[in-house]
Structure 1
Amino acid sequence: MRRSLASACLFTCALAAGVASAAPVEVGVRPQYLISRIANPELKARLEACLDKPQERKQFSIAHRGAPLQFPEHTAESYMAAYRMGAGIQECDVAFTKDKQLVCRHAQNDLHTTTNILATDLAKNCTKPFQPAEGDKPASAECRTSDITLAEFKTLTGKMDAANTKATTADAYMKGTANWRTDLYAAGGGTLMTHVEYIALVRKQGLKFTPELKSPAVAMPYEGWTQEQYAQAMIDEYKAAGVPPQDVFPQSFNLADILYWIKAEPEFGKQAVFLDERDETDTNFDYMNAATFKPSMAELKAMGVNYIAPSMPLLVTVQGGKIAPSTYAREAKAAGLKIITWSLERSGPLHKGGGYYYKSINSIVTNDGVIYELLDVLTQQVGIEGIFSDWPATVTFYANCMNLK
């Protein structure tokens, strides 16, 4: 279904108008379900004692693209669900359209898996049109935000991020949602958000912001627009909205973006978050060997970096059959870096090791109770400042029980 720009805006505005800053926080039944599977008796007893505790909003609970465990990511509906779950910070991954307007998408080239673009006339604009599966060759497509204008982007609707690579039709390709997620809240299509609309909604919610400047899929400069101009454009939309710098935690995997903000926008740069994926990009990197950290934690701190955000597995290891802080975690804390991590509730059931987000502790991951056991080590032993989650209620409950901010 396609929406006009005006009707989509009206819907988003209506959602924002309905937000009340004092709305009750609702964490639902998932925390209790996870607690029932915890192996650590002391942690289990402490969390069980909090099951009837009133819930408050917590900055420690960071909504990762809203609440995409069950809602289409980066949509108004997903942000509203995260708000109800008590998230204190909302994330918008920032990409740009053909006419250089900023929108919320996890990647510049994910429209084919996160929206209904392949079912619309805009499919013809895609960088790589849909190709059906044939033999051993999987189905594929690539549709970028830079393939379409902002007005065209706003005619699309969001869906659960997924693709059926065995599909022989575009319709079947779009129906690849994992069986541990759901299309229950996606069937009607999610309302896509511009970065400006996200700012307005989150401000109405009374929450803080963590926008992530996504690496472009197109070569930069893009039609004369440099990477620095792109980074500045994101900050400028907060300044235009009158958002205080202390309410914004700009993020990037590109260290050059962080250093640009530190220099060009020092008030925003103070809270700039360096998303660290050196375990994926540097073949010499070993999270248990500080000599392989290039730059070192101390060097990052000397550059003006205050926040570092690695994936969860970089922060923990297994010692004596238990989860323990890694060398990476100890080095970051010793250098005075504040640590944020990602992403809880993104792995589905954990009865077979947990996959990527538990890769450093796969050997002891056997059930969903490990979610709270890992979160407890990250909080109490590593000392994280906050954590991204695809289901913020899980973190909100823990933060309330442990009296975190």
Structure 2
Amino acid sequence: MKRQVVYFFKCQPELLYKPPRLDSPKTPPKQKKGMSSLSRPLGRAFSTAATASSGTAKSLSYLIYKESNHKKLVKKFKNASVNEHFRTKVAIYKETIRRLSASRKFDYVEEILEDQKQYKDMSKEGFNARLISLYGSAGMFDHARKVFDEMRSRECARTVMSFNALLGACLSSKKFDEVEGLFRGLSKEIKIEPDLISYNTVMKAFCEMGSLDSAVSLLNEIKRKGLEPDLITFNTLLHGFYANGRFVDGERIWDLMKERNVEPNIRSYSAKLFGMASEKRMNDVVRVVEEMNSKGIKHDPFSYHALIRGFVNDDDFEQAKRWHGEMWKNGCKPHRLVFETLIPFAVEKGDLAFAFKLCKDVIHSKLVVQEALIQSVVDALANESRVAEAKELVDDGEAGRRAHSYKLKLPTPPCNA
């Protein structure tokens, strides 16, 4: 079987904002005389009501997380949205839209998000920005733009916050060639001054299109605007250059980052490892890993994937297996790309026991990989008369229906001549 090497390039989301710390006074303020008899029970009443409402929101979120039927999920979500505390639960909104869009239930995404427009929260820019981002995550940019345009009729301020949400929605919807036009045109139209997040979004779009020189040119514009490129700026460029085979340019960006006193993080090192692995610079890979260890930088699934992919490219099966084992030993759950890289390599090397184990891990971890990948292992096992193991994978794939089922088949035995 021909080995398929899986390429990985996706700039992972970073923490853009850090909420300010609100330090409480060391001692509570004294109550005014004459107020205690009234304020204490009243305070308890408000506190009890708030706690009950918050508790209700949590229970509603739990019910939605557990619901597997999409139609019932939408109904429960709309009913839960009546609770104002539920509407502050950003995570449940993201997860629900992710689940529906992954199943291509875009009509249900629209039903949920359009239903939100009846609430008073639509007067707040932050809530509108959330809906814009959610539509973007589902790839529904036209709907995201509609929410942004409607803000004016609701007399809701449109600042750089909602502007950036719209740029992000355009990027998430993979309309990479439209991001710069939106950035240039809309900022002038509604008189908004783009910030660093705006520029980072445009830069990411350029990198996704392979327009790396255009991405780098934004550094000069950022400087002219009096802004300073941050870690996200440099990581975007590093991923762009290293992943597109421009290793030397990636190294230049790395040096520039150091000149600007921007300390690389695990995302930066993952990109560098990926670039080195692509160039088969395995001695350099070992050196960078040692550097990471000396700095106390822990590997994540993507840096492990870069390492494993490098050893696969170098045809070093034992080292690829070793780093897969290190990943599990260090409590790091593998990304699906690790399996998509290792499974065909294991089959090619004839280690069907390892390939079988990898497939079991995929199914039990509820990861989604190409069905043909697992089917190839089923076929290889059956061809080696390891029918029991092949059937076990077929049964496990079918049993994974709640998360993702694999319609695997045992190969038909050849007829006797």
Q: Provide TM-score, normalisation by structure 2.
A: 0.29
Q: Which structure has the larger Rg over C-alpha atoms?
A: 2
Q: Which has the higher contact order (CA 8 A, sep 6+)?
A: 1
User: By percentage of residues, which structure has more helix?
Assistant: 2
Which structure shows the bigger proportion of residues in strand conformation?
Answer: 1
TM-score by length of 1: 0.30
